[in-house]
């Protein structure tokens, strides 16, 4: 009994101590969980990368609204068009982050499509624009807007003009919203070595105080295709032909992203020129690529089973000019170019039957007065 009484007393004391320890232990455990959870939350908040932001979220962040992607592009286009119509200031209507986002999305669209764009008529083919934003709007006013009308632009959207950013961003918006109706090839001025010198870099830095914006544009330009094929019969590029070009598959396999090396097929597609006084190939006085004769055009059209080669890259008085017995045409879509020429502009309409017609755009009286 004595032992039994001692045992009960011991057990009672042990039970009290054990209960107290368990309370301390459980309390400590909960406290540790709380501390760890709080620390983990702060760690994640600092270290975890932000979730991917959609194009619509990026555009609407400053508005505090949520819209569909289509409406977001519409909103940005509306502001860009308003700048063109009213003469408002771009920097107060569109912020740098919106332009950065626009470039990034456009780059992904270019990357999703082929190096040789194979498109079907009807389609409007346009040449150099060179930042002449009001003249770009004239083209849309005359022909209609996508998706009601399909467009293929042959490059040189920036440099030398006064509104390079408005021009390229509006075109990027159309590319984002209507990727199967609006097509853009790369021109030699969509290369950093050129637009670093001829105005685009200076405009990005002056208007947005940002060289980063200029660099983001270059990332997008590097993904742009270099050539297009309309209805399997009309080959399109910015500059001209290449002595290395033997098949359309070579164009389909052109690597991207890339700033084309010299020499290469890519460089020739951006830089080469026709010359009526040349037979075969000769060095180009531009210091890059070649000039080529009428025989080269005829031979290539026969080899690749083409009816026409459409290119841009050179100012022509009436906005379009044939070469090689109408096997090649140069299209230039910037009237009163640089405020120094009295040239007209032109676009080429390819109808469903592959019949080509040209629309000319005379310099406006206002532009001539400014010149």
Quote the mean pLDDT of the chain: 86
| Domain ranges across the chain | 1-48, 99-370
| Band of residue 54 on the pLDDT scale cut at 50, 70, 90 | very low
pLDDT at position 317 over 50: yes
According to the model, what pLDDT value does residue 232 have? 99
Give the per-residue pLDDT at 47: 35
Contacts of 238 (CB under 8 A, 6+ apart): 154, 155, 156, 185, 186, 187, 188, 226, 269, 270, 311, 312, 313
* Model pLDDT, residue 53: 37
Question: For residue range 193-236, what is the model confidence (pLDDT) as tens digits?
Answer: 999 999 999 999 999 999 999 999 999 999 999 999 999 999 99
CA distance 230 to 224: 17
* Spatial contact of 361 and 317, defined as CB atoms under 8 Å apart: no
Q: What is the pLDDT of residues 83-138, one digit of tens each?
A: 877 667 898 889 999 999 999 999 999 999 999 999 999 999 999 999 999 999 99
Highest-pLDDT range among 25-39, 40-54, 65-79, 206-220: 206-220
Residue 81 pLDDT level (bands cut at 50, 70, 90) = very high
Interacting residues of 315 by C-beta distance below 8 A, sequence separation 6+: 332, 337, 341, 343
Mean pLDDT of 168-189: 98
- Tell me, what's the pLDDT at 89? 82
Which residue did the predictor score with more confidence, 19 or 349?
349
**Strand 227-230 vs strand 182-184: parallel, antiparallel, or unpaired?**
unpaired
pLDDT band for position 58 (cuts 50, 70, 90): very low
pLDDT digits (tens, 9 = 90+) for 283-306: 999 999 999 999 999 999 999 999
Three-state secondary structure readout of 103-163: HHHHHHHHHHCCCEEEECCCEEEECECCCCHHHHHHHHHHHCCCCCCCEEECCCCCCCCCC
Average pLDDT over residues 145-156: 98
- pLDDT at 6 exceeding the cut of 80: no
The answer as to CATH 3.40.50.2300 being correct for domain 99-370 is no
pLDDT band at 42 (very low <50, low <70, confident <90, very high): very low
Give catalytic residue positions.
189
By the 10 Å C-beta count (0-12 exposed, 13-18 middle, 19+ buried), 270 is classed as buried
Nearest to 153, CA basis, from 141, 161, 130 = 130
Does the pLDDT of residue 7 top 80, yes or no? no
pLDDT for 48 beyond 80: no
- Read off the pLDDT of each residue in 175-192 and give the average, rounded to a whole number: 98
- In this prediction, residue 64 has a pLDDT band, given cuts at 50, 70 and 90, of very low
φ/ψ of 316, rounded to 5, equals -130, 145
- Give the pLDDT band (50/70/90) at residue 34: low
User: What is the pTM (predicted TM-score) of this model?
Assistant: 0.81
């Amino acid at each position: 009994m004595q032992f039994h009484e001692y045992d009960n007393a011991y057990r009672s004391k042990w039970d009290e101590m054990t209960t107290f320890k368990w309370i301390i232990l459980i309390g400590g455990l909960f406290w540790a969980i709380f501390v760890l959870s709080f620390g983990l939350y702060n760690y994640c908040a600092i270290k975890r990368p932000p979730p991917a932001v959609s194009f619509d979220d990026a555009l609407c962040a400053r508005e505090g609204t949520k819209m569909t992607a289509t409406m977001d592009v519409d909103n940005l286009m509306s502001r860009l068009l308003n700048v063109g119509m009213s003469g408002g200031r771009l920097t107060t209507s569109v912020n740098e982050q919106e332009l950065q986002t626009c470039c990034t999305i456009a780059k992904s669209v270019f990357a999703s499509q082929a190096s040789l764009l194979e498109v079907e008529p009807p389609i409007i083919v346009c040449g150099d624009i060179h930042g002449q934003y009001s003249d770009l709007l004239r083209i849309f006013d005359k022909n209609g807007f996508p998706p009601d009308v399909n467009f293929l632009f042959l490059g040189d959207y920036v440099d030398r003009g006064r509104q390079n950013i408005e021009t390229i961003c509006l075109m990027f918006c159309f590319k984002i919203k209507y990727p199967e109706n609006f097509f853009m090839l790369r021109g030699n001025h969509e290369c950093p070595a050129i637009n670093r010198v001829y105005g685009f870099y200076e405009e990005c830095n002056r208007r947005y105080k940002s060289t980063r914006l200029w660099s983001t544009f270059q990332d997008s330009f590097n993904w742009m295709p270099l050539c297009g094929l309309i209805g399997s019969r009309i080959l399109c590029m910015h500059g001209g032909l290449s002595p290395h070009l033997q098949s359309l598959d070579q164009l389909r396999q052109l690597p991207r992203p890339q700033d084309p090396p010299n020499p290469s097929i890519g460089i020739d597609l951006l830089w080469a020129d026709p010359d009526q006084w040349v037979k075969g190939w000769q060095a180009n006085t531009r210091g890059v690529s070649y000039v080529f004769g009428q025989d080269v055009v005829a031979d290539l059209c026969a080899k690749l089973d083409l009816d026409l080669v459409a290119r841009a890259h050179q100012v022509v008085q009436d906005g379009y000019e044939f070469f090689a017995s109408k096997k090649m045409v140069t299209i230039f879509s910037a009237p009163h170019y640089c405020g120094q020429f009295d040239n007209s502009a032109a676009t080429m309409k390819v109808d469903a039957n592959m019949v080509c017609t040209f629309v000319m755009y005379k310099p406006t009286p206002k532009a001539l007065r400014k010149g």
